[in-house]
Amino acid sequence: MNRSGQQLRVIEVQQASRVAAVQTADGPRAILEAGLLDALASAGASADLLQIPGPDGPTDPVGEAFATARHVAVAVREAVAAGRRVLVLSGPCHTAIGSACGLREEGRRGVIWLDTHPDFNTPDTTESGLLDGMALATLTGRCWTRLTESVPGFLPVRDEDVLLVGVRELDRGEESLLAGAAVRRLSVSEVREGRLHSLESLAERVDSVYLHLDLDVLDTSEGVANSYAMSGGLTIVDLEGFLRAVSPLVEVEVMGLTAYDPSCDADRHIAGAAIRAATAMLG
């Protein structure tokens, strides 16, 4: 698919870190300051920036997370309706609730979730209570169902239309839930070796995709995305190759870059990797 000259909307979500599992509030701004918009322009894309501010006053983490999801959903839906592809920069992974709701309503929606963790806990299984660890479970309709009804365009994504990529750390609750789910997985070794049958199968079923990139999916040899980063992950070359394999197969209308803590990345290696990933997918 030729991306030259495409119109992009970059959305910077300014959200308090208390919603996230790690301190990531400064991540979106750091990626922008590392030269994201210039890199996209060099790749032939015309990108503009929209900022979504955080709440004006104190609020609880759950209320803040879903208020932000509503704002993001509206902004993404407007951009997609105008023919733009969208890149959402956020700290918390839970912003994915709003980002995925922006996909066009016609056809079947899919999710590609690149992360060290599957974020597949519910309030009944979580051991930490962190909303970030429930993001994908929420997207598949397993929890917070009353609140997701308030997010414009929310539709639960079918299990079989979700592809987990690079996941290598699960807790007991997630293991149990995933054992009974039809969610597909691609391991780091499968990505590295180009064994992408699960991706090809997903592409045959869905019409549009939200691609979620938690930057701790990258191996720590590439840099440290956040305090949860660990070895055994994708290299940036692995990630770029995978993203370039996605583009010809399925339309990624919305991409999310999340979970970047610049205080863990003094040399900004991960910020650079995020930009390379965005240009590989969207540029």
Task: Specify the pLDDT at position 20.
Answer: 55
- pLDDT for the residue numbered 1: 38
CATH H superfamily, domain 7-282:
Ureohydrolase domain (3.40.800.10)
- Residue 64's pLDDT band, with cuts at 50, 70 and 90, is confident
Looking at the DSSP bridge assignments, the partners of residue 13 are: 52
Alpha helix ranges (H) inside the chain: 27-33, 36-42, 61-81, 96-101, 135-139, 145-148, 172-179, 188-193, 197-205, 236-246, 269-282
Query: Does the structure show a pLDDT above 60 at 58?
Result: no
> Average pLDDT, stretch 54-66?
78
Whole-structure pTM value: 0.95
Percentage of the chain modeled with pLDDT above 90: 82
Q: What is the pLDDT of residues 229-240, one digit of tens each?
A: 999 999 999 999
> Where are the domains positioned within the chain?
7-282
Task: Name the least confident of 51-60, 71-80, 143-152.
Answer: 51-60
What size, in residues, is the chain? 283
> What would the pLDDT profile of 2-42 be if each residue is shown by its tens digit?
444 679 999 999 865 555 556 788 999 999 999 999 999 99
DSSP conformational letter for 156: P
Over residues 91-100, mean pLDDT: 94
